[in-house]
């Protein structure tokens, strides 16, 4: 075969429509071009509200399934006379468990102790964290805010168990706090911080401070500084601006 014939054959081959598995549309290509798929995507993304509902659906489902579900299960079990069910016995509905809970001191004391600790430590966390959030949002340049927030977030990348052990080491009889107090000559014997209300309060405030800091910072950062300045020009004092602005 001559060179010209081979060239014409190659040209005809290149002009021939390609066939084979590699040139067929992919699954996602066929799906994105399908009429029902396009109708659904146009409907969902055609409204900001529907987009928000779609984005919030999974977190809401997770909260209901992983958090609210076990709580409801515990409430259900509290009305049974036995759990887990034993062989040959069917659990029956009863109020004896709740009657015992509200009449026995051994149950009421830890309940109210936990309630008081929760209220007091929530307020203490607010008092300690609010100045930090206010300082970050008002007195730090915007370029440096993210850097400082990152520095505050880094310790919380570690698991809670590790941070709890770190607090135990810090407050132990041979921990950093007692060693510093001894070096300064303030104490002769180590202070028993561990397994006290102080160590419990310190640990809870530290472990939950991030959950107080981020919402406060986010809310304060969105308040325009001009609002506070306008209130000051109208005669509002610091406390009034704090309460109303």
Residue of 241, 138, 158 lying closest to 207 (CA atoms): 158
Asked if residue 19 has pLDDT above 50, the reply is no
Cα(119)–Cα(66) distance, integer angstroms: 25
CA distances from 177 to 59, 65, 162, 192 (A): 41, 42, 18, 11
Place of tokens 């071009």: 33
Question: What mean pLDDT is predicted for residues 7-30?
Answer: 53
The predicted structure's pLDDT at residue 127: 93
Question: What mean pLDDT is predicted for residues 144-166?
Answer: 87
Q: What are the start-end ranges of the E strands in the chain?
A: none
Cα(174)–Cα(193) distance, integer angstroms: 11
Q: CB-based burial of residue 231 (10 Å sphere; 0-12 exposed, 13-18 middle, 19+ buried)?
A: middle
Cβ pair 142, 221 in contact under 8 A: no
95-141 pLDDT, tens digit each: 999 999 999 999 999 999 999 999 999 999 999 999 999 888 888 88
Mean residue pLDDT of the chain comes to 82
Structure tokens at 210: 């991030």
The predicted structure's pLDDT at residue 9: 47
Residues 6 or more apart whose Cβ sits within 8 Å of residue 107: 100, 101
pTM of the model: 0.64
Measured in residues, the chain has a length of 245
The predicted structure's pLDDT at residue 17: 46
The predicted structure's pLDDT at residue 98: 92
Residues 6 or more apart whose Cβ sits within 8 Å of residue 91: 80, 81, 82, 83, 85
- 3-state SS assignment for residue 93: strand
Question: What mean pLDDT is predicted for residues 184-193?
Answer: 90
Asked if residue 20 has pLDDT above 50, the reply is no
Note the Cα 80 to chain centre separation in Å. Answer: 34
Place of tokens 């607090």: 167
| Straight-line distance from the first to the last Cα atom of the chain, in angstroms, rounded to the nearest whole number | 91
CATH superfamily of 105-245: MetI-like (1.10.3720.10)
Residue of 107, 81, 110, 116 lying closest to 95 (CA atoms): 81
Ranking 12-16, 70-74, 112-116, 198-202 by mean pLDDT, the lowest is 12-16
36-88 pLDDT, tens digit each: 777 777 777 777 787 787 888 888 888 888 888 889 999 999 998 888 777 77
> Domain extents for the chain?
27-103, 105-245
């Amino acid at each position: 075969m001559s060179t010209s014939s081979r060239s014409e054959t190659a040209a005809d081959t290149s002009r021939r429509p390609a066939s084979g598995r590699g040139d067929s549309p992919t699954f996602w290509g066929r799906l994105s071009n399908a009429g029902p798929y396009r109708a659904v995507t146009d409907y969902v993304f055609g409204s900001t509200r529907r987009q928000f509902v779609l984005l919030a659906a999974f977190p809401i489902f997770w909260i209901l399934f992983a958090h609210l579900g076990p709580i409801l299960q515990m409430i259900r079990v509290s009305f049974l006379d036995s759990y887990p069910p034993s062989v040959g016995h069917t659990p029956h509905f009863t109020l004896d468990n709740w009657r015992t809970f509200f009449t026995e001191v051994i149950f009421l004391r830890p309940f109210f102790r936990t309630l008081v600790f929760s209220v007091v430590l929530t307020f203490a966390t607010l008092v300690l964290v609010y100045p930090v959030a206010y300082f970050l949002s008002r007195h730090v340049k915007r370029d440096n805010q993210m850097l400082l927030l990152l520095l505050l977030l880094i310790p919380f990348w570690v698991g809670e168990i590790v941070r709890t052990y770190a607090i135990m080491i810090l407050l132990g009889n041979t921990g950093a706090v007692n060693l510093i107090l001894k070096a300064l000559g303030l104490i002769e014997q180590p202070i028993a911080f561990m397994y006290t209300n102080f160590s419990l309060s310190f640990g809870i405030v530290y472990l939950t401070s991030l959950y107080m800091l981020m919402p406060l910072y986010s809310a304060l950062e969105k308040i325009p500084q001009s609002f506070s300045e306008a209130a000051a020009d109208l005669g509002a004092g610091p406390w009034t601006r704090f309460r109303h602005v």
